[in-house]
Amino acid sequence: MPDDNSLLDRMYPGMPALPLLMLGSGDRLTREEFERRYAATPQLDWYVWRDGAYSPLASNTQGIIRSLVFSGLWLATIAWLADNIQPVLAVLQQSLYSTEQAAFKQQLVSRG
């Protein structure tokens, strides 16, 4: 069983231990193997809750992930992983002034 300082324990404190995690391909990894592979692979995954399970949200061809929950929140994943903050901030700024963000703000205001 993993120690209390594992990646998943830090990300989700109090979460019950899961001995296996299902991968998209159907392969199964132990929690320790998942964490080892995750730490060795520079990636940024964004998940969305669909049909009772978390599914990865794919980025577009420019490597930008667009949130489905917070419309108008975009993240430049390739730039983020390359530690290149300028494109990350530029995409975020663009997203905050998008029509999707304006509609999302209006929806929140109308809920009062």
Instruction: Please state, in angstroms and rounded to a whole number, the distance separating the CA atoms of residues 108 and 44.
Output: 28
- Please answer whether residues 108 and 101 qualify as being in contact, where contact means their C-beta atoms are separated by less than 8 angstroms: no
What's the pLDDT score for residue 66?
92
1 contacts 17 by C-beta, under 8 angstroms: yes
Instruction: Assess contact for 53 and 26: CB atoms under 8 A.
Output: no
Contact at 8 Å (CB) between 104 and 72? yes
The pLDDT of residue 86 is: 94
Full pLDDT tens readout for the chain, 112 residues: 444 455 556 655 655 554 444 456 556 777 787 778 777 766 777 888 888 888 888 889 998 999 888 888 999 998 888 888 999 999 999 999 999 999 988 988 898 7
Q: What integer pLDDT is reported at residue 22 of this predicted model?
A: 45
Closest CA to 10 of 29, 31, 30, 27: 31
Exposed / middle / buried, residue 91 (Cβ in 10 Å: 0-12, 13-18, 19+):
buried
